[in-house]
C-alpha cells in the first residue's frame, strides 16, 4: 500500500485515453441501459448535449488550458473567483429582496430580516414606482403596493428604513432600472439626513434600463435617454461614492423570458459595453468605471450549467476588459456577481420549491457568486409570507455556514464536466455577442427585434421540452398535480391604496412649493444641457418632489418609448 501511495498518477496520452474510453463504452456501458437512457434527450436548456462521462480529453478539446483559462482565484482571468480568499475569508453576502404595500408595514418586515441576520436589504418597488407614476396617478390604479412597496417621495424611504442603521448592514438598494437617478438620490439624501458620509454605507442599484425594453417592460424613455440617465449614476458614484454599486447589469429577466442563459448573458454584456462606452466618451477611464459595474447572471434549469455559467462569465468579462478596453487594475477585470437563487418553481405543491431553490442557490455559491438573494417557496403564489422569507434566509445561512460548501475555493474546479461546460458556455457567449455586434450592438437588440426573437425561440423550445417530457418537472409533467394556492396566501391590506394616496397629498401640502418648483427647474436645465442628472435630482428629492413629478419632466424633454412594429 505504501508503494502504491508513492507511485505517480498515470496520465495517458490522448490516443491512449480515447482508446480506453472507447473500450469503456463498448464493455461497461450496458447496451440495454444505453438504449433506455437514450429515450430521453440529455440536453441542457442552452442546447449543450450532456455526455454520459467526461475525461481530460473533453476539457482539452473544448479549449481549456490551466493557467490561461482556469488560473487561480483573484487572478486573471478570474474563472475561479473575483478575489483570492473567496468564501474562506468572507462568505457571500446574505441578502433579502422584499417589499409590499406601504412603507410603514414593510419596515416591520425589514427590521425582522435584520434581526434574523440579513446582510443586504434590497427593496422590491411596486410597478407604479418603477414606471415613474405616483400612487395617485390613474396609471397606478390596481397596482399600488401589489408587487413591491410604494415609494412616492423621500418620506416613504425614510419610513421604510426607520430604525435600521444603514452603516451596520453591508448593503442597501433596489432595482429601479428606469428611475436610477431618483432612487440613487433618495438613498444619498437618506444617508445625509442620518449624518452619514456616503462612504460610510453602501448602496446597490440594478439601474439597467436597456433590458427592460425586451424583457420586463418598465421602460419609460427612449433607450438613448434611459442609458444616459443610468450612466449618470455611475459617473456620479465614480466621483462621490466609489464604494457604491450603481449598476448591476441584468441577465435574469432576459433568460427568464426564454433567451437561455448563454444568449441572455451575451445581451447583458452588450448592454454593459454600451454603458461603458458612453462613460469612456465622457472621459472616464475603464479602470475607474468597470469596478462599479456588477452583473446579475441567471440559469435556473441546470445545476452544473449554473456553476459553469458564472465561471465563464467572469472569464469573458476579464478578457473583454483587458483585451478590448485596456483595463489594468484587477478590480476592473474581476467581475462581481449578484444572483437570485431559485429553481424551476411550480404552483403545484409549493413546499417542493424549497428543495429546488436550495439546490439552485447552492449552484450559484459553488460558482462563486458575491451577493446572493433567493426566492421564497410561495413566491409563485403570492407576495411571500414571513415564514417563507425566513426559510429563504436560513437556506442561505445554512449553505454559508454548514456542510463545508464554502470551506475551499471553487470546489468543482477541475471537474472534467464542469471545465468542459465552462469552455463550451464561454464559446456560446462569445458567438452570441459577436452576432449582437454584427447586428449593431445593444440598441440594435431592441430596435431590430433580435432580443425578442431569441426570447421567443427559447420560450417555445423550453415549453416543447416540458410538454414532451424531455425536461422532467416533478408535479408538472411527472406525477402531475393540480395547482395549490392556499387560503393563507399573503394579500395586501385593502386600505393600503387610500392611505398611500393620502400620504402623497399630505406631503404636497406640507412641503415648500417654491423649493419644489426651483428643484424641478433644475431637472429641466439638466435635461436641456446634458449635465449629470444626479445633482439636480438630489435637490428635488430634498424638496420632497415626487417620483412622478421628476419623471414627468423627463417625459416632457425626452419623450416616451414607442415600440416598433416593423419586425
Give me the CATH number covering residue 211: 3.20.20.240
Q: What is the mean pLDDT of residues 149-166?
A: 98
Q: What is the mean pLDDT of residues 120-146?
A: 95
> What percent of the chain has a predicted confidence (pLDDT) above 90?
84
Is the pLDDT reported for residue 7 higher than 60? no
Is the pLDDT reported for residue 31 higher than 80? no
Is the preceding peptide bond at 77 cis, omega within 30 degrees of 0? Answer: yes
Task: Assign 505 a pLDDT band (cuts: 50, 70, 90).
Answer: very high
Could you say which DSSP state residue 149 is in? B
Q: Could you list the residue range(s) of the whole structural domain that residue 300 is in?
A: 67-88+178-192+205-468
Q: Is the pTM of this model over 0.75?
A: yes
Q: Is 13 exposed, middle or buried (0-12, 13-18, 19+ CB in 10 A)?
A: exposed
- On the CB side of 197, how many CA atoms lie within 13 Å of its CA? 6
To 10 degrees, what angle do helices 261-281 and 303-319 make? 20
* Residue 353 in domain: yes
Q: What is the mean pLDDT of residues 523-529?
A: 98
Cα–Cα distance between 137 and 144 in angstroms, integer?
10
Q: What is the mean pLDDT of residues 393-420?
A: 96
Cα–Cα distance between 214 and 221 in angstroms, integer?
14
Which element (helix H / strand E) includes 294?
Answer: strand 293-296
Do the Cβ atoms of 340 and 63 come closer than 8 Å? no
Is the pLDDT reported for residue 80 higher than 70? yes
* Residue 59 in domain: no
> What percent of the chain has a predicted confidence (pLDDT) above 70?
95
* Residue 337 in domain: yes
pLDDT of residue 8: 45
Do the Cβ atoms of 518 and 500 come closer than 8 Å? no
Nearest to 366 by CA among 334, 411, 400: 411
* Residue 346 in domain: yes
* Residue 127 in domain: no
* Other C-beta atoms lying within 10 Å of the C-beta of residue 67: 10
pLDDT of residue 562: 87
pLDDT of residue 15: 85
Contacts of residue 347, Cβ cutoff 8 Å, sequence gap at least 6: 380, 381, 483, 484, 485
Cα–Cα distance between 499 and 286 in angstroms, integer?
47
Q: Look at 28-37, 345-354, 523-532, 547-556 and tell me which has the smallest mean pLDDT.
A: 28-37
Q: Look at 286-290, 380-384, 388-392, 455-459 and tell me which has the smallest mean pLDDT.
A: 380-384
Domains identified in the chain, total number: 1
Q: Look at 34-38, 86-90, 481-485, 562-566 and tell me which has the smallest mean pLDDT.
A: 34-38
The pLDDT mean for the chain works out to: 93
pLDDT of residue 420: 96
**Tens digits of residue pLDDT in 430-439:** 999 999 999 9
**Tens digits of residue pLDDT in 262-279:** 999 999 999 999 999 999
pLDDT of residue 566: 64
Is the pLDDT reported for residue 206 higher than 90? yes
* Residue 419 in domain: yes
* Residue 285 in domain: yes
Is the pLDDT reported for residue 139 higher than 50? yes
* Residue 531 in domain: no
Amino acid at each position: 500500500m505504501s508503494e502504491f501511495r508513492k507511485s505517480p498518477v498515470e496520465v495517458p496520452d490522448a490516443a491512449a485515453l480515447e482508446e480506453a474510453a472507447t473500450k469503456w463504452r463498448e464493455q461497461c456501458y450496458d447496451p440495454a441501459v444505453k438504449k433506455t437512457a437514450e429515450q430521453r434527450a440529455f440536453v441542457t436548456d442552452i442546447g449543450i448535449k450532456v455526455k454520459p462521462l467526461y475525461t481530460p480529453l473533453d476539457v482539452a478539446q473544448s479549449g481549456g488550458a490551466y493557467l490561461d483559462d482556469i488560473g487561480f482565484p483573484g487572478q486573471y482571468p478570474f474563472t475561479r473567483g473575483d478575489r483570492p480568499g473567496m468564501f474562506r475569508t468572507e462568505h457571500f453576502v446574505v441578502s433579502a429582496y422584499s417589499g409590499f404595500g406601504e412603507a410603514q408595514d414593510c419596515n416591520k418586515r425589514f427590521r425582522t430580516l435584520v434581526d434574523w441576520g440579513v446582510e443586504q436589504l434590497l427593496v422590491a418597488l411596486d410597478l407604479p414606482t418603477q414606471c415613474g407614476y405616483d400612487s395617485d396617478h390613474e396609471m397606478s390604479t390596481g397596482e399600488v403596493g401589489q408587487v413591491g412597496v410604494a415609494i412616492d417621495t423621500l418620506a416613504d424611504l425614510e419610513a421604510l428604513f426607520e430604525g435600521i442603521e444603514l452603516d451596520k448592514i453591508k448593503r442597501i438598494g433596489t432595482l429601479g432600472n428606469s428611475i436610477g437617478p431618483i432612487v440613487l438620490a433618495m438613498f444619498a439624501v437618506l444617508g445625509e439626513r442620518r449624518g452619514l458620509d456616503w462612504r460610510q454605507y453602501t448602496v446597490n442599484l440594478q439601474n439597467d434600463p436597456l433590458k427592460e425594453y425586451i424583457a420586463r417592460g418598465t421602460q419609460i424613455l427612449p433607450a438613448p435617454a434611459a442609458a444616459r440617465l443610468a450612466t449618470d449614476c455611475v459617473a456620479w458614484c465614480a466621483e462621490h461614492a466609489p464604494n457604491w454599486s450603481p449598476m448591476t447589469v441584468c441577465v435574469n429577466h432576459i433568460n427568464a423570458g426564454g433567451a437561455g442563459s448563454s444568449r441572455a448573458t451575451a445581451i447583458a454584456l452588450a448592454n454593459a459595453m454600451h454603458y461603458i462606452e458612453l462613460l469612456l466618451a465622457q472621459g472616464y477611464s475603464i479602470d475607474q468605471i468597470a469596478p462599479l459595474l456588477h452583473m446579475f447572471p441567471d440559469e435556473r434549469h441546470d445545476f452544473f450549467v449554473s456553476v459553469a455559467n458564472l465561471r465563464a462569465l467572469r472569464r469573458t468579462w476579464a478578457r473583454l476588459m483587458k483585451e478590448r478596453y485596456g483595463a489594468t487594475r484587477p478590480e476592473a477585470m474581476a467581475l462581481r456577481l449578484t444572483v437570485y437563487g431559485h429553481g424551476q418553481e411550480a404552483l403545484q405543491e409549493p413546499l417542493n420549491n424549497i428543495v429546488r431553490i436550495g439546490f439552485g442557490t447552492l449552484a450559484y455559491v459553488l460558482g462563486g457568486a458575491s451577493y446572493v438573494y433567493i426566492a421564497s417557496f410561495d413566491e409563485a403564489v403570492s407576495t411571500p409570507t414571513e415564514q417563507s422569507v425566513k426559510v429563504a434566509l436560513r437556506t442561505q445561512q445554512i449553505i454559508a455556514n454548514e456542510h463545508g460548501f464554502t470551506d475551499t475555493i471553487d470546489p468543482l474546479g477541475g471537474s472534467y464536466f464542469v471545465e468542459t461546460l465552462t469552455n463550451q458556455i464561454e464559446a456560446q457567449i462569445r458567438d452570441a455577442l459577436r452576432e449582437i455586434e454584427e447586428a449593431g450592438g445593444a440598441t440594435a437588440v431592441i430596435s431590430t427585434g433580435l432580443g425578442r426573437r431569441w426570447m421567443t425561440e427559447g420560450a417555445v423550445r423550453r415549453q416543447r421540452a416540458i410538454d414532451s417530457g424531455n425536461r422532467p418537472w416533478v408535479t408538472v409533467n411527472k406525477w402531475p398535480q393540480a395547482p395549490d394556492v392556499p387560503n393563507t396566501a399573503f394579500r395586501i391590506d385593502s386600505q393600503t391604496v387610500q392611505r398611500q394616496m393620502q400620504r402623497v397629498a399630505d406631503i404636497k401640502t406640507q412641503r415648500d412649493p417654491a423649493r419644489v418648483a426651483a428643484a424641478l427647474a433644475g431637472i429641466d436645465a439638466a435635461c436641456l444641457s446634458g449635465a449629470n442628472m444626479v445633482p439636480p435630482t438630489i435637490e428635488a428629492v430634498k424638496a420632497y418632489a415626487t417620483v412622478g413629478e421628476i419623471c414627468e419632466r423627463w417625459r416632457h424633454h425626452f419623450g416616451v418609448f414607442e415600440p416598433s412594429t416593423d419586425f
